[in-house]
Structure 1
Amino acid sequence: MTDTQGLEAVALTKTYGEGPTATHALAGVDLRIAPGESVAIMGPSGSGKTTLLHVLAGILPATAGTVMWRGRSIADMSDADRTTLRRSEFGFVFQSGQPARAACRGERGPAAHARRNRRRRGDGPGPAVAQPPRSARDGDAPPRASFSGGQAQRVAIARALVGNPGVIFADEPTGALDQATGWEVMNSLTTACRAQGASLVLVTHDVDVAHWCSRTVQMRDGLIVGEARQAAPAQEVAR
């Protein structure tokens, strides 16, 4: 049954090429993500996990199957509507954040979009989230060397959450960080998602990172081959 409030994939396939040389990155994936749920997608390189994240987020089109967001098929949206969806209802955090200057420039777009939406609705500023350094918020790009990997990721998290999105998509957000900094980034990410009621879809190779999520799904050869729920996600243990 379709969840009209969450994100759902039904029989997703993604094929590159044709004939005997075709690559089946997704081979029929069914996945439902409830509002506020955090899901880690794991698997070996080439298993299809990043392709799945990109198709769920509307970045890549599926070859077949359906992605539903709050009861609407993403494939049935116009290009303009999908762009609006990614700007206002989806947020993104990637492996190495964004270079400092790009992060500072990019924050203005979603922030301005969120402010316009709040003015139209008459809302207040919304839930507090982890904030980037003041220079990033004010649009004054500091020298790139002044941003550590952890700071860049915290800026990326703040940018991703600034419009109160329903889902955050994170692709190896700690892949370029040491263990201690990765712990801090995952604590910031999961705390902020929970504060805003956003779902989290996370791709990772790291079991310790996956433990920050309430559910882990395992992929192999373009299929989900198993899943497990965390009795006590790392966030709960850390508190």
Structure 2
Amino acid sequence: MSIHATAIIDPRAEVDSSVQIEPYVVVKGPVRIGANTRIGSHAVLSGRTTIGRDNLIGSFSSIGMPPQDLHYKGEPTEVIIGNGNQIREYVSIHRGTATGKGRTRIGNHCMIMSYCHIAHDCELGDHVIMANLATLAGHVELGDHTNLGGLVAVHQFCRVGAYTFVGGMSGIGLDVPPYVLMEGIRNQMRISGINKIGLRRAGMSRGLIAQLDEAFRILFRSPQLLLKDALHKLETEMADCPEVQYMVEFFKTSKRGVAKRTTDD
């Protein structure tokens, strides 16, 4: 273990012997830090926060602080962070609320760039990228391999589906379906097509990408079909494709409504 002399570590904290802690770090409360994790100078970790192995926590970041929620009364909620993440300088991640899920969770191998904010009760999958100054309000869900450009803001309770790329400076007020390219603000949100580059980089086959492209055409570019009919068509004609069925389920389980406007509208 390498802990700088100026760091302050709460005796209740559990810190693996291989962790590196730089100058002026503050760890307060029952924080748990896994193997080979590095904590940058001036970072503050607090509360019931669990950090897995092989993570990089940048300087001046703040993880596990109380949620910015007027109803929070100090309940024992938590932050859970997986393995192999990069959480860069000045990032803030707040713990959950008792009226929400009780936790804020980040998966594995995510890149959370400088000045991002992840509010209470958010759920991030694996391989998520949030570019500088991207902001999540409370209860937001990001699927695996989601990529948010710089200055993106996501409204509370919204979901962004897996493998979706959201262009910089977008304001997300509705759920964004999986596998697509999206940009815009609220009622100006526009979807330009399938995120083919992202899907190829993630290792998806040409055949699967072609299936998703066809599913996109049926959902978004078949004006003769009502949404319920398009979803039924995908359920029956592409029943053997789990990725397409995930897209169908995403629409069916939306509570805020799903962005559906395309650049062809």
Task: Output the TM-score relative to the length of structure 1.
Answer: 0.29
Whose radius of gyration is greater, 1 or 2? 2
Higher helix share: 1
Higher relative contact order (CA 8 A, sep 6+): 1
Task: Output the TM-score relative to the length of structure 2.
Answer: 0.27
